[in-house]
Structure 1
Amino acid sequence: MSDSPALLTLRGASFAYEDGPTVLRDLDFDVPEGRALALLGRNGSGKTTLMRLLSGGLAPRTGRLAVAGEPVRYDRKGLTRLRTTVQLVVQDPDDQLFAASVAQDVSFGPLNLGLTDAEVRARVEEALTALDIAALADRPTHLLSYGQRKRTAIAGAVAMRPRVLILDEPTAGLDPDGQERLLATLDGLRAGGTTVVMATHDVDLALRWSDDAALLTPQGVHTGPTAATLARTDLLHNAGLRLPWGVAVTGLLRAHGLLPDTAPGPRTPEELAAGTPAVPADG
């Protein structure tokens, strides 16, 4: 795991929905500051519950959540403080958008913070620019494409200027070009100091994008550097995930002496084609 300080920490956290089984039990989980973290696991593994615990949408039945070492209080003041630090964007943008226009929707969070009109406008413009949708400010939300609705939902979270942005399957439903544009946007947010957590089923995306990977299994959660973690076939099996393409290719190249053990392997077909490593034409 990273040496970066933990910005969010869950300790001994358990949660069960009313009249349902326990979803998470005695969970310890860290979100290091400044890292890109991929959260992976099979359906029903608790990813959504964990994201809602981290963002304050749910309170743990046992254990505690802390921000920069300070325990979260689940009163109005404590939750307001948490939500200025952590923002969650759900998978379906239609569950998050409700205002008549893009700008109105993005302004909702900052307005609820009691900011001045000038500060709200500045945050909305900043968020729309960051998500490359400034030209859509006055567009009715019901006239947006799916990808535009995704970006608008993320812009609403970014306008809160969170230190941690948690995204539930943000690339789901996007075409390849839309995925690339969104990943470029996330890279820009990370460069600006935002810590990004992404829940995804896509192990190839996790290998390419994240610094660390957290695998939720029936035995608990295992977190570590992405390449090493996603090479653990035992963990992948327990998490209901397949081996990433890049990990499989890297193993094959090393087995044939085409890639030194100390060299990083290709994460995508494009990196392999670019010469990481150079594969003989007859190989």
Structure 2
Amino acid sequence: MIVELVGAGYAYEDGPAVLSGVGLGLAEGRSTALLGRNGSGKTTLLRLLSGGLRPQAGQLRLHGEPVAYDRAGLTRLRTTVQLVLQDPDDQLFAASVEQDVSFGPMNLGLDEAEVRARVDESLAAMDIVALRDRPTHLLSYGQRKRAAIAGAVAMRPRVLILDEPTAGLDPHGQERLLDVLDGLRTTGTTVVMATHDVDLALRWADDAAVLTPGGLRTGAAGELLADQELLDAARLRRPWGTAVAELLRAQGLLGEDEGPRTAEELAAWTRGVARRGLSPIVPLPAPGSPPRPPSRR
């Protein structure tokens, strides 16, 4: 595991424990959706993973070694793990996009050429090269989201953690952001996304981590998001893809471990049935398998 919480617990001053006995490991190149009801501790968990909070019980490990919460230890952690907050205005502070994105690399003491290379790379990755000189206060909400993520990407983290990154974005903005995250994953970046959107989690994530009053459950996204008891405990609704797959299986149209994750996959399956003039069992992705990149049409 790149980074791992082991038996972690945390409580805010004069309050009950928000998290207790949490274990969560993040492997290279995997995508994880973190889900749970409001107040379940998602943001607290993300801050523990990124070093913004220190576990009051248990520990955070980086490459198998306990993290030291001194300057050197936190610098080492934050060159590996970067957190992007839900509200980009909590993260953007410089006058222009380029200045904001360059802040982190400059603080690492990198030379000017390396800083420039990282800024160029991050702006290109987030598709905001044209906004390089734009004042941050003149950006749209979606542009501010991408600028905030670019600042994290410029640190070249191995783990990128995002708190509700699609919140407040229109459908087109969500698709553009997911394209970017897919590109980062292909380069080996581990991506963690806190979200309330169970359909997005089923479609996008390899793994899921679901916070309930009884603790944290982790596993393959398709498997966990088909567990109605778990969804009820976390106050989450059943994903659309899971419900459709259950209906098709009940009609004998799908095998036990098959099911569409997206409307595009269902449409492709339907076209295949229509071409054959039959209702055969047509192979579709298994719920626990890595999702195929969704169609952008």
- What TM-score, normalized to structure 1? 0.95
Indicate whether 1:240 and 2:241 are aligned.
Answer: no
Q: Number of residues paired by the alignment?
A: 277
C-alpha offsets along residues 184-223 of structure 1, whole Å, 9 cap, x if unaligned? Answer: 0000000011000000000000000000011000111111
Whole-Å separation in 1 of the counterparts to 2:9 and 2:223: 28
Instruction: Indicate the residue corresponding to 1:273 in structure 2.
Output: 267
SS of residue in 1 equivalent to 2:232: helix
CA contact (8 A) 1:10 1:27 kept: yes
Aligned-residue CA RMSD (Å): 1.5
Could you tell me how far 1:274 is from its partner in structure 2?
A: 1.5
In structure 1, what is the equivalent of residue 51 of structure 2? Answer: 56
CA, structure 1 residues 277+77, in 2 after alignment: closer, same or farther (shift >3 Å)?
A: farther
Measured after TM superposition, the shift of residue 278 of structure 1 is 4.8
The answer to whether 1:196 aligns with 2:186 is no
Q: Deviations over 1:125-162 (max 9, x none)?
A: 00000000011100000110100000000000000000
Distance across 2 between alignment mates of 1:204 and 1:175: 16
- Compute the displacement of 1:265 (Å): 1.0
Task: Give the match for residue 92 of structure 1.
Answer: 87
Give the CA deviation at 1:44.
0.6
Aligned: 1:110 with 2:108: no
Q: Which moved more, 1:110-119 or 1:6-15?
A: 6-15
Match of 1:3 in 2: none
The answer to whether the 8 Å contact 1:265/1:276 transfers is: no
Alignment pair present for 1:15 and 2:4: no
Q: 1:212 aligns with which of 207, 210, 213?
A: 207
Matched with 2:221 is 226
Letter in 2 for 1:138: D
Q: 1:31: how far off?
A: 1.3
CA positional deviation for 1:249: 0.3
Could you tell me which amino acid in structure 2 is paired with residue 74 of structure 1?
A: Y
* Mapped partners of 2:173, 2:162: distance in 1: 16
Q: 1:76 aligns with which of 71, 82, 89?
A: 71
Query: What is the TM-score of this pair, normalised by structure 2?
Result: 0.91
Name the SS for the 2:79 alignment partner: helix
Q: In structure 2, the residue corresponding to 1:198 is in which secondary structure? A: strand
Determine the C-alpha separation between the residues in 1 that align with 2:271 and 2:69: 52
Per-residue CA deviation, residues 18-71 of structure 1 (Å, 9 max, x unaligned), is 111110112111112211000000011010000000000000011110011011
Unaligned 5+ segments in structure 1 are: 1-5
Q: Tell me if structure 2 keeps the 8 A contact 1:259–1:277.
A: no
Q: Secondary structure at the match of 1:98?
A: coil
1:154 has 2:149 as partner? yes
